[in-house]
Structure 1
Amino acid sequence: MTGKSITKAAQGRRAALPLSLLLAGALSAGSAPAQELTYGSGVPERSAANREGVLPLLEAITAATEGRVSFTPILGGQLVSIPGALEAIADGVVDSGFLITQFYPSDLPAAALMSELTGLGTDPFATMGALNEAYFVDCAACRDDFAALGVVPALLQSAAPLTMQCTQPVASAADLAGLRVATIGRPEMRWATALGMVPVQTAISDLLSALQLGMTDCAIIGTSWIRSYGLEDTIKGVIEMPQGIIAGAVPLAFNADSWAAVDDADRAAIRGLMAATLWDYVSNAYVTPDGETRAALTDRIAFVPGDTALAEAWQAFSAGEAAALRALAAERGIADSDALIDRIMETFRVWHEDLLPQFAGDREAFIRIANERIFDRIDL
């Protein structure tokens, strides 16, 4: 379904009720939990994002609501594909699910900007905080995009820093010039171009074949992806200097009708979990697996920090992302787009420069700050 038809369907207020509400009406009282919500995702069930991120969050919600809200996860594309997730949640095929804003620039012109912020982040925890403040506090147009479709995001997700991984040992910016590099999003393509590399937009599922068949020489991906996508025998060199953090996924979004059917107190309890979830999600699903992967493969792969030229190139590139974001926002017709990008840029600066020293390594401090700046100020 095209972006235009998703919007049309949402404006028509969806003919079908969400699956859980149909089931609740069909079953006698007490035969099933009142709010047993379906959760759909195209992400493989075995992924760390599910095992260490999504599933613990769903369990925490069930505990926080004393069982009044529970979930039936349907993962791995069994019901919802990654590209079709927004439509499935909006139309009530599932009550909740995982989506990536990057895939829907027509339906989510402002909210999809959250997937364009890769070049602004270097610390995973600061990026998690900044991303959610950018969406929930800075960007009213982002929230309006989702509201028009009848979808309610509970939080947004970033990951661990990207690293440059190649099929040959590499150590410097000079080593990378001219090499072909697999990229997932447009910010990574811009970064590759700035380095004099040749970006090749590549689907995640095609990373291994692209590297093995010589279609690309490198990939800009997270360190733990070496294991997740079977690259252990293909990658020979990794430059570990952080080169952006992929952002803009929504690991938990609700169909608006399903969300409205949740009791006010339970909705507040769910919102109260989000600040801790930001920390736990990125730590358990990304930072820890990155460290474990590096430790397991250090005898087989050359991990190096990169050189001064690469660090200087990154600083220049990151500073230039404001102009790229302004141009993109203006192209999409977002009102007051320059002011929006200025707010987002300042939010990322504050989290990385001012707030990071206050919470580095301190989960409770992070939770306090995230609540004060984000979740205590909003009503999902």
Structure 2
Amino acid sequence: MTWTTLTAVALATSLTFGAAEAKTYTYITYKPQGANDAHSRSLQWFVEEFAKRTGGKHDIEVFWGGSVAAVGETPEALAYGVGDMGDIVTPYFPDQFPLNNAIGFFIPQPLSSDAVAEAMVEWHRDYPQFADELTSQNLHAISFRSLEGYGLLCKQPIASMTDLAGKRIRSYGFAYPALIEAMKAIPVSLTTSDTYEALERSIVDCAPIGPALARGFKYDEVAKYYIEMPFGASFGHILAMNLDSYQGMDDETRAVLDQLGIDYMVEYAAMLEAEEVKVRELWQGELGVTVLPFPGEELTALIDDTGVQAVRAEWESKATDAGVSFDDIVAKLRF
């Protein structure tokens, strides 16, 4: 396995010895520290709260900006102990984490950001298979970071589904490619980091995203029309931990971390909501992004498309194979 820096190798070696007694836990994230968005600020809050709640006995050192593992390497890096904690961008791994990526197979869906986070907590509580999927890969979920409701950021104004025919739209995962094809548009698979340049160079015409993320990644510098297309909130990240590191904690510290994971979701949600309000104000002012309505019924009508239904059926099949009775889960994700 090849890692991006020699730091990762040194870190892996240091974690091999005495992990249970370690007072400094490591957190790896692809996010730059200077991003100053809800993701980075809430993570800083998490770090500070952990130190405070453990009375300074333990702390967390964050390795920002993919310096230890790139976004696509994080699950494996955590599983091997190249970091104690980290962000797993769940939609990038629909095959590796099919149960925990349920939201990613059901787009569009009606849940808000808060409701998505609540659903993940509920599913982990009621269906042990969700946690088992992580445990089998030496991982443990500390918390969940849902994203905001998504619309479509475009370089040209879009008024109806007809305007999307032939447009090139950024895509990832399973549901978006099928949904974009149902729009008669062209899905273009891109990572988040590659999408700015793709929009700037008109390699793609649009990208599904929420306002706060669009501002965070500065997509709104190169695409000036935000279409209120009701994709629903996206499930973003599992705040995950190496299972050995988690089990190696003393009972008191583990209890602190468990409660902190619950409190984190509340704090993050508040930051995200405030950030979206601020971004929309900036769009109306100095950033000059035009927000356009979209007939939501045109999008929800595409749920009956054969390709979209095939993606949903694929998740149901995976759930059945895992022994999950999925009726209650799927009911949450239907309009």
TM-score interval w.r.t. the shorter chain? 0.7 to 0.9
Which residue in the other structure is 1:91 paired with?
80
Give the corresponding residue for 1:295.
Answer: 281
Aligned to 2:187: 199
Counterpart residue type for residue 191 of structure 1: L
C-alpha distance in structure 2 between counterparts of 1:128 and 1:75, whole Å: 24
Give the TM-score of the pair, scaled to structure 1: 0.75
| 2:270 is aligned with 1:283 | yes
Q: Deviations over 1:149-174 (max 9, x none)?
A: 22111122210111111111223333
Deviation at 1:296, TM superposition (A): 1.0
Q: For residue 311 of structure 2, what is the aligned residue in structure 1?
A: 324
5+ residue gaps, structure 2, are 3-10
Q: Which residue number corresponds to residue 24 of structure 2?
A: 36
Alpha-carbon distance in 2 for matches of 1:70, 1:195: 48
Determine the C-alpha separation between the residues in 1 that align with 2:243 and 2:94: 20
- Superposition deviation, residue 107 in structure 1: 4.1
Q: Residue in 1 aligned with 2:8?
A: none
Provide the rounded CA distance (Å) in 2 between the counterparts of 1:37 and 1:44: 19
Structure 2 counterpart of 1:176, from 131, 156, 164: 164
For the residues of structure 2 that align with 1:287 and 1:322, how far apart are their CA atoms? Answer: 32
1:183 and 1:201 in contact (8 A); partners too? yes
Partner of 2:17: 22
- State which of 51, 55, 68 in structure 1 corresponds to 2:40: 51
**Equivalent residues, number:** 322
Q: Deviations over 1:30-87 (max 9, x none)?
A: xxx8431011112222232443222211222222222233101111111122111111
Q: Secondary structure at the match of 1:158?
A: strand
Separation (CA, whole Å) in 2 of partners of 1:217 and 1:324: 24
Contact 2:103-2:234 at 8 Å conserved across structures: no
After TM superposition, what 4+ stretches of structure 1 lie above 6 angstroms from structure 2? 319-322
Larger displacement relative to structure 2 (202-211 or 114-123): 114-123
Amino acid at match of 1:301: V
Match in the other structure for 2:210: 222
Q: Is 1:269 paired with 2:264?
A: no
- The aligned residue for residue 127 of structure 2 is 139
| Residue 299 (structure 2) pairs with residue 314 (structure 1) | yes
Query: Are positions 1:345 and 2:330 aligned together?
Result: yes
Shift of 1:138: 4.0
Aligned CA distance change for structure 1 residues 42 and 17 (closer, same or farther; 3 Å):
closer
Taking structure 1 as reference, are residues 104 and 165 closer, same or farther at Cα in structure 2, changes over 3 Å only? closer
C-alpha separation between the residues in 2 aligned to 1:297 and 1:248?
24
In percent, how many aligned pairs have the same letter?
25
**What's the C-alpha RMSD, in Å, of the aligned pairs?**
3.0
Partner of 1:120: helix, strand, or coil?
A: coil
1:106-142 deviation per Cα after TM superposition (whole angstroms, max 9, x unaligned): 54343344543453244111122113322x1243222
Give the match's secondary structure for 2:187: strand
- Segment of structure 1 superposing worse, 106-115 or 159-168: 106-115
Report if the CA contact (8 A) 1:69-1:262 is conserved: no
> Against the structure 1 CA distance between its residues 140 and 239, is the aligned structure 2 distance closer, same or farther, given a 3 Å change threshold?
same
Change (3 A) 1:348 1:97: same
CA distance in 1, matches of 2:107, 2:53: 32
Paired with 2:313 and 2:185, the residues of 1 have a C-alpha distance of 24
Letter in 2 for 1:132: V
Q: 1:196 to 1:144 in 2, by over 3 A?
A: same
Alignment equivalent of 1:156, drawn from 140, 144, 147: 144
TM-score, length of structure 2 as denominator length = 0.84
Instruction: Report the equivalent of 1:260.
Output: 247
**Matched residues in 2 for 1:237 and 1:105: separation?**
29
